[in-house]
Amino acid sequence: MTFDLDRRWRLSEQVALRPEPFGALAYDFGTRRLSFLKSRALLALVEALGAHPSAREAARAVGVAGGELDRCRQALAVLAATGMIRAQAAP
Amino acid sequence: MAEPTIDTGCALACAEPDRAAEATAHSPAAEPLVEDELLVEDVSIDGMCGVY
Amino acid sequence: MSALASTGGGADAAGAAPAAAADAAPGGRLVDQFERGLDAPICLTWELTYACNLACVHCLSSSGRRDPRELSTAECKAVIDELERMQVFYVNVGGGEPTVRRDFWELVDYAVAHRVGVKFSTNGSRIDDERARWIAASDYVDVQISLDGATAEVNDRVRGPGSYATAMRALGRLAAAGASAPKLSVVVTRENVGQLDGFKAIADAHGAQLRLTRLRPSGRGADVWDELHPTAAQQRQLYEWLLAHGEQVLTGDSFFHLAAYGRSLPGLNLCGAGRVVCLIDPVGDVYACPFAIHDQFLAGNVRDRGGFAGVWRESELFARLRAPQGGGACGSCGFYDSCRGGCMAAKFFTGLPLDGPDPECALGHGETLLARRDRSTPPPRPSADHSRRRPARRGPAAPPERACDEDPIAAFLRREGVRR
């Protein structure tokens, strides 16, 4: 598992995020790919990414920890791989 | 629509693993995942039946 | 479900930071999540007009003649405004031939400006060089060219004389203009299933992405379904071909009923009708899906007081579709979990019960049921038919009424031209 929680990340400008009872839908207008975020915790984390200097701090802020953080981390890796979230240069 | 398209041959349904600077592509096939555990699933916007 | 911001901070009905512990069942199969429906469609089909310059024998919307009650430009924009508010991500605009509407390009522009991605489906007759360049320059507009034969001989038997040439011309112009990945969309039939490699070659030669879709017995399709739908052996052949080509070839999730063969094809693999997709027709009627244009699947009209959102959220039909569906006669089949009983529209228009097998059930249960069906009760027919005239039965092309019928544009202009 190599997703770097200690970088600052943000959602790509081309992505529309739509909360849903099961989590969220994320559509990338550039790639025409649709992603299903299957937990509200993951949604909260993704929404918080841009506002914190690291993904780890964003997770802390929204109360995601332990096993749940591990699962979210896997999911973040997938979102990064498809370009839905982008790593930011350190401030 | 704010940002210009990233040029990756976008309309094709394949992920660009090197888009994000540090993250490595996560390959679901590389680990024995129980389907239930993966919190993200992605599909083409054309992956829904009932659209002609 | 009304988050207007595209990233973070969007207000949502449940309030600010959802407690992680409140997750019902994080993960799990999408099929299970979606069968209950969503507060807004993910994408939808919007038929802008019933007018069409062609008369394809299998037309799912029985198009040809414009309906005088068509939505006006202003009404169309109001629908787009609603789609924006609801965050519908993508609209597949079709018809009829949508480009024959004078406001077509204006509406596409309007949708894109309002954060609704557009794909439009066309026979190519109005894609000139200038339009090809316009499409190529639009990052958020996708174009889909319809073609049902890799040769003119096979294609034109279904879509009419000259239609192959028109489609190829459009593909050529789009390629020359540098359009990024137009879609080449094919309805798979008994007559073209042997041409799959040919279709792929045409798509590759034009920088296009191939899309194979299912022939359904909808609209005029009902009249030709018996003779045109793939045989069981051909269906298996198609399935293997699709598996081999993976995500390179789109299907609009048309073939989820084939999951019963073994591996599922890419896609959600479920019937999206009334749950994640629907149809808006040219007069504003909202149907569960474009293959189910029949009163039985009519949910309401965008001109109703609550608009499109009201229909999507409150219609009785959609509430019924979103309630848990038992397997019915298929419940005891080990494959029901994969195929979900197949396509509602395919069952409906072949006169099969909705709680039983798909007519093209991979295990052959549908075929058996069809053979036993009482032929004296004809299957349901759509209430409206916008065909210009019933197209001649296929086979050798029927002799044209006049020489100018060879050119579909001329025939169209002759019928519609006075007003233009």
- Does the beta-carbon distance from C18 to A30 stay under 8 Å? no
Q: What does the pLDDT read at residue C27?
A: 62
Q: Which of C268, C271, C343 sits opposite B47 (nearest CB)?
A: C268
Q: What does the pLDDT read at residue C277?
A: 95
How far away is chain C from the Cα of B33, in angstroms, using its nearest Cα?
12
A35-68 pLDDT tens trace: 999 999 999 999 999 999 999 999 999 999 999 9
Give yes or no for B5 touching A (CB within 8 A).
yes
- Does the beta-carbon distance from B40 to A27 stay under 8 Å? no
Q: Which of A32, A80, A81 sits opposite B10 (nearest CB)?
A: A32
Give yes or no for B18 touching A (CB within 8 A).
no
Taking only residues 354 to 413 of chain C, the set having a beta carbon closer than 8 angstroms to any beta carbon of chain B reads: none
- Does the beta-carbon distance from B1 to A34 stay under 8 Å? no
Q: What does the pLDDT read at residue B29?
A: 42
For residue B10, the chain C residues in CB contact (below 8 A) are: 180-181
Q: What does the pLDDT read at residue C397?
A: 46
Taking only residues 77 to 136 of chain C, the set having a beta carbon closer than 8 angstroms to any beta carbon of chain A reads: 87, 89-90, 115, 117
- The C-alpha atoms of residue C125 and residue A89 are separated, in whole angstroms, by 49
Mean pLDDT of A68-90: 93
Chain B CA closest to residue A31: B10
- Does the beta-carbon distance from A87 to B25 stay under 8 Å? no
* pLDDT tens-place values along chain B, 52 residues long: 443 333 333 333 333 334 433 333 344 444 444 545 789 999 999 999 988 8
For residue A33, the chain B residues in CB contact (below 8 A) are: 13, 15, 42-45
Burial of C250 (0-12, 13-18, 19+ CB in 10 A): buried
Q: Which of A19, A29, A39 sits opposite C1 (nearest CB)?
A: A19
**Exposure b/e, B10-42, CB count within 10 A at least 16 = b:** bbebebeeebbeebebbeeeeeeeeeebbbbbb
Neighbouring residues of C149: CB distance < 8 A, sequence distance ≥ 6:
C155, C156, C157, C158, C159, C164, C191, C192, C195
The Cα angle at residue B11 between residues B10 and B14, in degrees rounded to 5: 70
Chain A CA closest to residue C88: A18
Q: What does the pLDDT read at residue C17?
A: 36
- The C-alpha atoms of residue C376 and residue C390 are separated, in whole angstroms, by 23
- What residues of chain C score a pLDDT lower than 50? 1-24, 392-393, 396-407, 417-420
- The C-alpha atoms of residue B2 and residue B38 are separated, in whole angstroms, by 31
* H-only helix segments in C124-195: 129-137, 152-159, 163-176
Give yes or no for A5 touching C (CB within 8 A).
no
- The C-alpha atoms of residue C317 and residue C278 are separated, in whole angstroms, by 12
**Count of Cβ atoms closer than 10 Å to residue C16 Cβ:** 10
How far away is chain A from the Cα of B52, in angstroms, using its nearest Cα?
16
- The C-alpha atoms of residue C7 and residue C42 are separated, in whole angstroms, by 17
Give me chain A's average pLDDT, please. Answer: 94
Q: What does the pLDDT read at residue B12?
A: 34
- Asked if residue B44 lies in contact with residue C183, where contact means CB atoms within 8 angstroms, the answer is no
Give yes or no for C271 touching B (CB within 8 A).
yes
ipTM metric: 0.93
Q: What does the pLDDT read at residue C14?
A: 36
What is the value of pTM for the model shown? 0.84
Chain A CA closest to residue B48: A34
Chain A CA closest to residue B7: A30
- Does the beta-carbon distance from B39 to A87 stay under 8 Å? no
Q: Which of C7, C19, C87 sits opposite A50 (nearest CB)?
A: C7
C101-156 pLDDT tens trace: 999 999 999 999 999 999 999 999 999 999 999 999 999 999 999 999 999 999 99
Task: Name the 3-class secondary structure at C300.
Answer: strand
- Does the beta-carbon distance from B44 to C43 stay under 8 Å? no
Q: Which of B14, B37, B52 sits opposite C60 (nearest CB)?
A: B52
